[in-house]
Structures are given as C-alpha cells and as structure tokens.
Amino acid sequence: MQTTPKKRAVIVGSFVFLGLLFLLGGILTVGNLHSTFSRKVEVTAIFDDVNGLQAGNNVWFSGVKIGTVKKLSFYGDSRVLVQMRLEEKSLNFIRKDAKAKISTDGLIGNKIIVITGGTQAVGPVEDGDALGIEKQVSTEDMLNMLQDNNRNLLQITSDFKVVSGKIAAGEGSLGKIIQDESLYNTLDATMAALKRSSAHAEQLTASVANYGEKLNREGSLANDLVTDTTVFNSIQASVRQLEQTMVLATAAADYLKSTTSNLDKATDQLSNNTSPAGVLLNDEQAAAHLKGTLKNLESGSQKLDEDLRALQDNFLLRRYFKKKRKAE
C-alpha cells in the first residue's frame, strides 16, 4: 500500500508540530514556566562597581530567587544603575530600607544580586523604588589584603629569624638565660627565694586571719578593746592620766636638771680660788683671817652694846631714853 503525497505531508507536519511542542515545553521548563508568566515590578540600585554583573543574572532574597537583572547603565561619573525585575508576590517581604549587594552563585559561579535586611517599621517596596547598597569587600580588596598580610608575615618571619639567631648566639637576656648556666642557676635561686617569700606571706596572711578571728571572738580582751566602749573609755582615761604624769615627770626632770646645773655652777665657784666662796674654802690663810675678823666684830659688838647701856644710864641721856620707851 503506497502513501500518497498528501498523506506524507500530514505525517511530516504532525512530527514537526510535535517537535515544536516538545521544544516549547523544554524552553518553558528550563526558564521556569511559572516565573515567566508571573507579574513583575521594577526596582533599581546604584553601585560603585558591579564586579562583572550582567543582564539576566538572578536576584535572590533569603536564599530564594525572586527576579532577574533587567538592565545595567552608567549613572553619573563612574557609577552603575542596575534595574531589576522582581516577582510581585515577593514585594510584601522586601522593605523599603532593604539593602542590595553583589555576590557570587557558589564559589566561582555567576554574579548575583542578594537583597538583605529591612525592618517592619517601614512599608514594603513598590514599583520604581530604589534600594540601598550594602558595602562589601571586593575580590581585588581581598587580594590586596592578602598581599599586605603576606608582607607582614614575611617581616615577622624575618624578625623572628633575627631574634632566634641572637638567642642561639647567647645575646640578650633570653639568650643569656639559655646559654649561661650560672645565670640560670641565679634565676633558679631567685625563684626559690620568691617561693619562700610567698610561703612567708601565706603564713603572715594566716596569722592576720587568726588575729582577726580573735578580734571577732566575744569575751576576749581584743574583742572587748574593739567593741566595749566602757573598756575603751577606761583605757583612754588611763592614757590621759599617763600623759599628764609624763608631763609632770618631764617638768620635774627639767627642774632637777636646772637645779643640778646650778649646783654644778656653785661647785665650780667653790672650787675656783678667785671667788670669795672658793677663797674661804680653799685658802686657809684667808679663812683664818676672816675668822679673826669675825671674832673682832663679835667683841666690838659686845663692847658697843655695853657702851649703849652705859649711855642709857647716864643722867644726861636718861630722860631721852624714857621718852622713847613711852612713845614705843
């Protein structure tokens, strides 16, 4: 049975139609059929550097793809305006104060835009809004930082090499401690002395604690001295009396010192042959002469007394002495 040209055309057309249906289904499946026909809104963000971002790259929010990059254009001097198309159903979760940053899909994947942050205090983002930018460290900055760290590490390694060389050569304090055995022994003795001092300090602390415990023990003399006001006042009065006694003793000592000094001076004068008292005590001839003079004065006094009595009995002066006795 032979097929007619018309029938062959129908069969070929059917296969072509089925192929187109499969092709269209694959395209829609790969491009996400639901997102292809969902309603979109546009928001923008202005970046200083997009780091290789291209139109068609995805936009993510909380780990979920919510849109794509529609267009990139220069803005101002050297900035880039990025237009994004977001699914309308995601707008209720994205706030006006949300931030946008450029990230990477995986370790070496395509560039993407990640939207983060946002607070419930502000309303949801709307069509035509501009999102803020979250500053992030670029790959170039990271490489520069790594280079700086490498240079610092190299410098540290060089310094450590120099220090270790000096230590090995016995230079510096640490090198001397490691290389010089006598210095090590001295340091060891010092540490032992410090340990003994620490033990003594611990004993002193225990003694102080014991004394404090005795102070807090009721009925003890120390506790009475600290807490009993009567005992304290009595001791205070005794101290005042002792102070007064000390003052009197000091005054008596001063007086005794002055008296002793005067006695010393008198003794010096008595011992001095040039002073009258010294002459009387040390010069026998002068003392004998003075003794004779005193005897002569005594005898003269007696004779004068006798003469006065004789004058009283004289008839010329008797009347005068009687008047005087009457007047007395």
52: left (phi over 0), alpha (psi -120 to 50) or beta: left
User: Is the pLDDT score of 81 beyond 50?
Assistant: yes
Instruction: Identify the band that residue 46 occupies on the pLDDT scale cut at 50, 70 and 90.
Output: very high
User: Is the pLDDT score of 59 beyond 90?
Assistant: yes
Q: What integer is the mean pLDDT of 218-247?
A: 72
Instruction: Identify the band that residue 57 occupies on the pLDDT scale cut at 50, 70 and 90.
Output: very high
What is the CB neighbour count within 10 angstroms for residue 51? 14
Work out whether the CA dihedral 318, 320, 323, 325 comes out positive or negative: negative
Q: What is the mean pLDDT of the chain?
A: 77
Q: What integer is the mean pLDDT of 261-289?
A: 66
User: Is the pLDDT score of 35 beyond 60?
Assistant: no
* Structure tokens belonging to residue 157: 């390694």
User: Is the pLDDT score of 299 beyond 60?
Assistant: yes
Higher pLDDT, 141 or 74: 74
Q: What integer is the mean pLDDT of 159-180?
A: 71
From residue 193, how far is each of 80, 184, 190, 197, 218 by CA, in Å? 73, 14, 5, 6, 40
Higher pLDDT, 226 or 77: 77
Q: What is the pLDDT of residue 206?
A: 84
Residue type, 64: V
Give which of 50, 121, 115 is closest to 86, Cα–Cα.
115
Q: What is the pLDDT of residue 162?
A: 79
User: Is the pLDDT score of 33 beyond 50?
Assistant: no
Counting Cα atoms < 13 Å in the Cβ hemisphere of 285 gives 1
What is the rounded distance in angstroms from the CA atom of residue 238 to the CA atom of residue 46? Answer: 92
Higher pLDDT, 289 or 40: 40
Give which of 43, 75, 74 is closest to 61, Cα–Cα.
43
Instruction: Identify the band that residue 114 occupies on the pLDDT scale cut at 50, 70 and 90.
Output: very high
Lowest-confidence pick of 100-114, 131-145, 187-201: 131-145
Could you state, in order of their start, the residue ranges of all structural domains in the chain? 1-30, 39-136, 138-179, 182-227
* Structure tokens belonging to residue 91: 């707008």
Instruction: Identify the band that residue 14 occupies on the pLDDT scale cut at 50, 70 and 90.
Output: confident
Instruction: Identify the band that residue 34 occupies on the pLDDT scale cut at 50, 70 and 90.
Output: very low
User: Is the pLDDT score of 110 beyond 80?
Assistant: yes
Pairing mode, strands 132-133 and 40-47: unpaired
What is the rounded distance in angstroms from the CA atom of residue 279 to the CA atom of residue 271? Answer: 9
SS3 (DSSP) at 159: helix
What is the CB neighbour count within 10 angstroms for residue 141? 10
Q: What is the pLDDT of residue 37?
A: 53
Residue type, 109: G
Q: Phi and psi for 241 in degrees, rounded to 5?
A: -60, -40
User: Is the pLDDT score of 272 beyond 70?
Assistant: no
User: Is the pLDDT score of 76 beyond 60?
Assistant: yes
Token match 């050297």: residue?
A: 78
Provide the strand spans (E) within the chain: 40-47, 58-61, 64-75, 79-87, 99-104, 111-116, 132-133
From residue 277, how far is each of 36, 52, 260, 264, 272 by CA, in Å? 146, 130, 19, 14, 8
What length does the chain have? 328
- The order of strands in the sheet holding 58-61 is 40-47, 79-87, 64-75, 58-61, 111-116, 99-104, 132-133
User: Is the pLDDT score of 117 beyond 60?
Assistant: yes
| H/E stretch holding 210 | helix 181-216
Residue ranges of alpha helices (H) inside 31-138 are: 33-37
Higher pLDDT, 270 or 229: 229
User: Is the pLDDT score of 256 beyond 50?
Assistant: yes
Q: What is the pLDDT of residues 170-211, one digit of tens each?
A: 676 666 666 667 767 777 788 888 888 888 888 888 888 887
* Structure tokens belonging to residue 96: 């006006």
